[in-house]
Amino acid sequence: MNSLRADISDYLELRRSLGFKLKKDGQLLPDFATFVEQRHAAHITAKLAVQWAQQPAFIGANYQAARLRIVRSFARYRILTDPRTEIPATDLLPRQPSTFRPYIFSEEDIKRVLAACLQRRRSAKPISRWTRYAIFGLLSVTGMRVGEALNLDMEDVDLDNGVLTIRNAKFGKDRLVPVHATTCEALKIYRQQRNEFLADKAVKPFFISPLGRRVTNGVLDLSFMRMTRKLGLRGATDAKGPRLHDLRHTMAVEVLRRCYEEGADPERRLPALSTYLGHTDLVYTYWYLHQNPSLMKEAVGRLEHRWEAAT
């Protein structure tokens, strides 16, 4: 029988070869192995898995459920080499229903955010505001994930043909994102500003920081939080509020809303929207229909209209 740690290594290698990134699994499974070893356990049991998943005591129910899911998935692999392995039941530490509602930006909100990006700050270099403006603008019109935008390299941005290449996205896949001519023009302006700032020095990332490096998610999030607080979109001391990722939600909701306004059937366009957003399953795209009150109102109104027409 292989050692627990050897099986963890083999399991991660196998699943990563199938395209899964497993960043959290790679961090947490070795910790689970240490937990098992410290208790001198001969094999994985459901009780051990639950005890580990509930640590530390202050973590929320959904994080506990996520930790247990990681062990459950590995246990299904481990049982092949150790038949004594217990696979934790799916009803142990169940995930709690989410009450999360994304912030849907109005057109005026987005205009204010973009205008704020260009405001001069005494100690900041111009490239900072140009980069923020270009990134926030791109996210608002394409619905790209933040990490996808930040990972763009110069070779991935084809503005002559209006296509961005997203490499090794969330589920390990590449995809092409067509962009509108007006977006191309805005990105061409940024590219010129960027190249002039770098004095035409060859730098791989498309979006750069004042140090000429790739912009990090943490720095961008902090900048966005400060900006939305200044604009009154969140409280002065409120950590909760609009997130950069909500620009993605806003774009998807706006596309579906326009379908209703044009009298088109949103469900017919969901496959195309799903592909554009990089979803691996249509169920993730359907989420926008069910989680946005205004879209639900439109859907109910359309159903009522069909019912009246039928009667």
Domain count, the chain: 3
Domain shared by 14 and 69, yes or no:
yes
Catalytic residues: 145, 170, 245, 248, 279, 288
Residue range 105-114, pLDDT digits in tens: 889 999 999 9
- Are the beta carbons of 170 and 245 closer than 8 angstroms? no
Residues 116 and 195 in one domain: yes
Query: Would 93 be classed as within a structural domain?
Result: no
Q: Is residue 26 part of a domain?
A: yes
Q: Does residue 118 share a domain with residue 220? A: yes
Maximum distance among all Cα pairs of the chain, rounded to whole angstroms: 71
CATH number, position 158: 1.10.443.10
Residues 212 and 118 in one domain: yes
Quickly state the pLDDT bin for 150 (edges 50, 70, 90): very high
> Do 224 and 251 reside in the same domain of the chain?
no
Q: How much is the pLDDT for 34?
A: 95
The token duo for 5 is: 């740690």
- Residue 215 phi/psi, 5° resolution? -70, 135
Is there a single domain that holds both residue 223 and residue 265?
no
pLDDT of residue 294: 57
In a domain, 22, yes or no: yes
The answer to the question of residue 86 being in a domain is no
Residues 44-78: tens digit of each pLDDT: 999 999 999 999 877 788 889 999 999 999 999 99
Are 114 and 199 within one domain?
A: yes
| pLDDT average, residue stretch 188-193 | 96
State how far the Cα of 123 lies from the Cα of 10, in Å rounded to an integer. 50
| 306 within some domain | yes
Of 61, 78, 95, which residue is a domain's last? 78
Which residues constitute the domain of residue 46?
A: 4-78
- Same domain assignment for residues 221 and 250: no
Supply the pLDDT for residue 235.
78
